[in-house]
Structure 1
Amino acid sequence: MSASTNSDSAPGLPGAVPGAPDLPDAILDALDPEQREVATALHGPVVVLAGAGTGKTRAITHRIAYGVRAGVYKPTAVLAVTFTARAAGELRTRLRELGVAGVQARTFHAAALRQLGYFWPRVIGGAPNRIVEHKAQLVAEAARLVGVSVDRVAVRDLASEIEWAKVSLVGPEDYERRALADGRPAPAGFDHHQVARLATAYEDVKSERGVIDFEDVLQILAGILAENRAIAEEVRAQYRHFVVDEYQDVSPLQQFLLDQWLGDRTELCVVGDPSQTIYSFAGATPRYLLGFRRRFPAAQEVRLVRDYRSTPQVVGVANEVLRRGRVTGALELRAQRPPGPPVSFVAYDDDDAEAAGVAAKAGRLIATGTRPSEIAVLYRTNAQSEAFEAALADAGIGYQVRGGERFFQRKEVRDAVVLLRGAARSADPDQPMPEQVRDVLTSVGWSPDPLAARGAARERWDAMAALVALADDLARASRPGAQATVASLVAELEERAAAQHAPTVEGVTLASLHAAKGLEWDAVFLAGMSEGLMPISLAETDAAVAEERRLLYVGVTRARVHLEVSFARSRTPGGRATRKRTRFLDGLWPEPGGGRRPGPSGPAPATC
């Protein structure tokens, strides 16, 4: 099973339900005691705190199936919502396997869009406005209206900021005050006042064109339900029981819509893990999950802590990462799998050595029977993928990049290669090649110092910095009397690009930690775990650092059996060893001399 979202079939979990059972109680036979408690809690409010790998999807689908089979739920009166189409599809598949049809399992947006399309003609009149899938053109036009100069990267960052404001229920007129109060930096190159003006112009452009965006779908529907009692009652008569998965990721806008669906009722079951809140930058907040029992004092709470995904060694590290950070609401997992190999902690000399070492170990795993698709290399930023792409290609190991474009397919990299190709034809033979490369790349976003920004602008800088580093490496590696040139750099880039395009059927997954959420593999390499990357240097507040720790926890809990955590002391071969491992591994990383890691579970980790 490769990169699966399904940890319920891991060794040790009670067996799957054979077919569609006729008796309600037969559905419960597939569950452990805590999962059964969830399944039999048929009336809300219910909050399920479910740790990684504990079978939460099994628990909530069996709850719905049990409720339907017991005659408590009418299938068409149940609405289960989650955050991705993949997760919604998994809910529907599980329910079909349990013999339950008619339950609506959708993303927030899909459920809202269906209802909005139904009520729009009655409330607003005419056909619904067209939904724009991408904001780029509208943001660019809004920027022109307010006299702001933008490029492609700025448009992406501004679009993301507009989305954050809308899902956070922050209107353009209140954006500047709220962002400053929250300590939220404006996108690179802009101030909060400019963003507020642009957000106002963005809404004007949409109105003039007669279009809406995805956030509007939720806002408009929630507004209709809040203001039109007859329509609200119609929806509430249709849907009487609600289930919300991944509740730690709900935004204020989604919560507002959920409140309109519910009205004054309490038939709500929410499922989440505050330790896996990693999207605060996009408006997600765990406060609704953590505050559920304050809002509903009579709520039943169930905790799922039996981890069926990972070995005791992996679970032990995951628990320690949270415990040492005193993470709010953290659940202590209890491993259900038999023991596996120790977790490895490795300090490499430089980035190239780290990439080569990871590729070599992946190769050994493949040689001993692990499928390439059951191996993942996870890192903090998409720009880190290039070194691992090159190392795996050199080792003849197929790979796939998830959650981001391949390095050489990124527009900024393609544009840079075109410029370098042109520069190669007119290069000054007396100017060192690395200097020429820096001159060229300055025009497409590179600067000597890292950008103090987040989002696409920083990713572009990281990509350009990788090209600069490659130029430096090529110059250092050139033989005496054979000076490296821009032309030789372009040839190297073209060879690397060609190698990564080789077709693969089975491939090692390369992914950022954010893109790995919800997935799992037999073997995981957590690479680049050094200060400045984990936590990332842009995490300047306590809240931001705490989120970075949760992100590391998500990475650790993606591994079923094999886990290696590594970092490189230096960026380049022979460079100064100035990097330090992440503070999040204090007390976990083995000390010189073979000291054992303190902690309640699992044998001492090994270094290699």
Structure 2
Amino acid sequence: MAGIFEQLNNKQREAVQATEGYVRVIAGAGSGKTRTLTSRYVYLVEELGVSPGKIMSVTFTNKAAGEMKSRIRRMLGDVDTGFISTFHGFCLQVLKEDIHRLNYPQSFSIMDEADQKSLLEEIYHELGLSLRDYTFRDMLKVIDVFKAPYGYVGQVTEPDEQKAVKYFSSFTRDMKDRILGKYVQKQRRNFMLDFDDIINYTLYLFTRYGDVLQKWQQRLQYIQVDEFQDVDAKQAQLVYMLSGGYGNLFVVGDPDQTIYSWRGADVHIILDFDKEFPQAKTIYLNTNYRSTPQILDVSNDLISKNTARLKNVLCAVREDGAKVYYKHTKSTIGEAAYVARTIRFLMESGVKPYQIAVLYRAHYVSRSLEEAFVKEDIPYSLFNGVEFYNRKEIKDVLCYLRMPLAFDDISFLRTINTPRREIGRTRLNFLNEYAENNNVKLYDALKDNLSHEKIKSTKARRYVEVIERYAAWIYTKKVDIKVNSLLQ
């Protein structure tokens, strides 16, 4: 433990040793908050003898969670790191254990945005609509608004089928409402959750079933949350509920760095933490290890103008560096032209192109920059592209793997004609009508109609044989064996 403390300053040590009760750490940019969080985790395990399984560490991205796990394992060895994950990752762990209380199987599926659009496309076809009527973006916003409160979960998971059907048939206010009703009904039929559902179903479980909440409260003795300035009301409610068992909640964040208000983040949650928990202790980390004094002077002066903040002036450790230059332009095009001219000047002064980086906040800015670079004859590389799991071939394989587990409509629609099996729109309409009338999934509709005139001449029977074979393997074969076999 002495080795850990040698790497920390006095305020970081104070935060690491603040293990009990409610603690708020205001960690300025570059102040070593990740080191503080990981050191506190190690301190709990090594010094206090806490089992990793009783510690919950929440970060905002899978990458940050992976980095934290890697650092902890370098310090503790190859150990089980317990619950180090995003909010959604933790909620998935809860649902895998307890979603059966909501009459859902453990084999429920998770929808990404591409899956949502695929489901909406099917609904549009059923209702005779097109993207000219409503864009997917419009409908996804409607779905988001509908799922802002989580009371709908009880109605969607209603065990009485007649009550559930009555609920879904009540979506009749307008066409958007009809689309929404079909969307949630198909979700129920296929036991599929979208991004909003993951936290909503967990909160509903905790509020409806006290024994489930109590189980998780007893399991998690220490809870720590990173980037607390970017949590929304439901995420805050989640950790507040979980901390109700032992009363140990450690939150780290910086109100000056909140950037996600557009997706529901509320900076007042961290600002008012001491109002929610009057006994809370606040620790300030203000030693910056990342930036030069020139950069911090500009940052401190700018951010001091904010009104909704906790005063935390950052102090530099690094030596003096280059001056900070600021240029305000009237348009994105003008900004790009200025950047290109500056780079041209630097290159003519002997700076190599690979020594220069241009950072931009939004993807749309790249077009203006690229056009300006081409005009100035500046070589460049754009670090951007389709995310791995959103590539068509990867989505296809994942849906094939999901089919024998969940048999859901989205995976079915993606795999039934990959490769081509002559199940075109007319035959899909037939299957969809059968599924609607009999309240079954599309895969079940296909199996029930393999000998039907519309289906028997296709390659559907071979498809069913493949899926059924892999379903028999689901718990007996390793994933890599199944993937290799599928690709053959």
Q: What TM-score do the two structures reach when normalised by structure 2?
A: 0.66
Which residue number corresponds to residue 109 of structure 2? 130
One-letter amino acid of the counterpart of residue 375, structure 1? A
Given candidates 67, 79, 94, the residue that maps to 2:44 is 67
Structure 1 counterpart of 2:68, which letter?
L
Counterpart of 2:196, as a letter, is E
- Matched with 1:94 is 71
SS of 1:376's partner is coil
Displacement of 1:319 in angstroms is 1.5
- Aligned 1:488-499 pairs, distance under 5 A: none
Whether 2:209 is the aligned partner of 1:228: answer yes
Q: Return closer, same or farther for 1:336/1:362 CA change in 2, 3 Å cut-off.
A: farther
Within 5 Å, give how 1:304-319 maps onto structure 2.
304-319=285-300
Contact 1:247 1:272 survives alignment (8 Å):
yes
Q: 1:391 aligns with which of 372, 382, 386?
A: 372
Native 8 Å contact 1:146 1:201 kept in 2: no
Give per-residue Cα distances to partners, 1:468-504, cap 9 Å, x unaligned: xxxxxxxxxxxxxxxxxxxxxxxxxxxxxxxxxxxxx
Deviation at 1:85, TM superposition (A): 0.5
- The aligned counterpart of 2:220 is 239
Distance in 1 separating the partners of 2:385 and 2:29: 20
2:22 to 45, 50, 68: 45
Corresponding residue for residue 510 of structure 1: none
Counterpart selection for 2:2 from 19, 22, 25: 25
Matched, 1:293 2:274: yes
Of the three residues 140, 152, 168, the one matched with 1:159 is 140
For the aligned residue pairs, the C-alpha RMSD in angstroms reads: 3.3
Give the partner amino acid of 1:392.
F
Q: Which amino acid aligns with 1:87?
A: A
Residue pair 1:34, 1:302 contacting (<8 A) in 2 also: yes
Question: Could you tell me which amino acid in structure 2 is paired with residue 395 of structure 1?
Answer: D
What SS is found at the alignment partner of 2:321?
Answer: coil
Question: TM-score, normalised on structure 1?
Answer: 0.54
Q: CA deviation at 1:169?
A: 4.9
The answer as to whether partners of 1:352 and 1:387 remain within 8 angstroms in 2 is yes
The amino acid that maps onto 2:363 is N
Q: 1:272 to 1:167 in 2, by over 3 A?
A: farther
Question: How far, CA to CA, are the matches of 1:62 and 1:337 in structure 2?
Answer: 23
The 1:170–1:44 alpha-carbon spacing in structure 2 relative to 1, beyond 3 Å, is same
Offset at 1:342? 1.2
Q: Which runs of 5+ in 2 are unaligned?
A: 154-172, 388-488
Give the match for residue 252 of structure 1: 233
Q: 2:353 touches 2:380 (CA, 8 Å); kept in 1?
A: no
User: Could you say what secondary structure the match of 1:119 adopts?
Assistant: helix
Q: Secondary structure at 2:304's aligned position in 1?
A: helix
Q: Which amino acid aligns with 1:400?
A: L
Q: CA deviation at 1:106?
A: 0.6
Deviations 1:494-545 (A, max 9, x none): xxxxxxxxxxxxxxxxxxxxxxxxxxxxxxxxxxxxxxxxxxxxxxxxxxxx
- CA–CA separation in structure 1 for the residues paired with 2:34 and 2:3: 18
Specify whether residues 331 and 400 from structure 1 end up closer, same or farther in structure 2 by C-alpha distance, changes over 3 A only. farther
Q: Is the 8 A contact 1:57 1:91 kept in 2?
A: yes
Residues 126 and 350 (structure 1), Cα distance of their counterparts in 2 relative to 1, 3 Å cut: closer
Distance 2:228 2:292 in 1: 26
8 Å Cα contact 1:246-1:272 kept in structure 2: yes
Preserved contact between residue 121 and residue 128 of structure 1 (Cα < 8 Å): no
Higher share in strand:
1
Mark the CA change 1:268 to 1:350 in structure 2 (over 3 Å): closer, same or farther: closer
1:272 alignment counterpart: 253
Unaligned runs of 5+ in 1: 1-23, 173-191, 406-608
Partner residue of 1:493? none
C-alpha displacement at 1:163, in angstroms? 3.1
- Name the counterpart of 2:304: 323
Superposed, 1:455-466 pairs within 5 Å as none
* Number of the residue aligned with 1:212: 193
For residues 580-599 of structure 1, the aligned pairs below 5 Å read none
Greater per-residue helix proportion: 2
**Which of the numbers 74, 94, 98 marks the counterpart of 1:115?**
94
Secondary structure class of the residue paired with 1:320: helix
Q: Work out the CA distance in 2 between the residues paired with 1:156 and 1:280.
A: 19
TM-aligned CA deviation for residue 283 of structure 1: 1.3
Residue deviations 1:95-144 (CA, integer Å, cap 9, x gap): 11222632231111111112211223465253432221122233455667
Match of 1:58 among 22, 29, 35: 35
Aligned amino acid, residue 357 of structure 2: I
Q: CA deviation at 1:155?
A: 1.2
**Helix, strand or coil at the partner of 1:254:** helix
- Kindly tell me: are residues 403 and 122 of structure 1, through their superposed partners in 2, closer, same or farther at Cα, counting changes over 3 Å? same
Please report how far the alpha carbon of residue 403 of structure 1 lies from its aligned counterpart in structure 2 after TM superposition: 8.8
Q: Could you say what secondary structure the match of 1:243 adopts?
A: strand
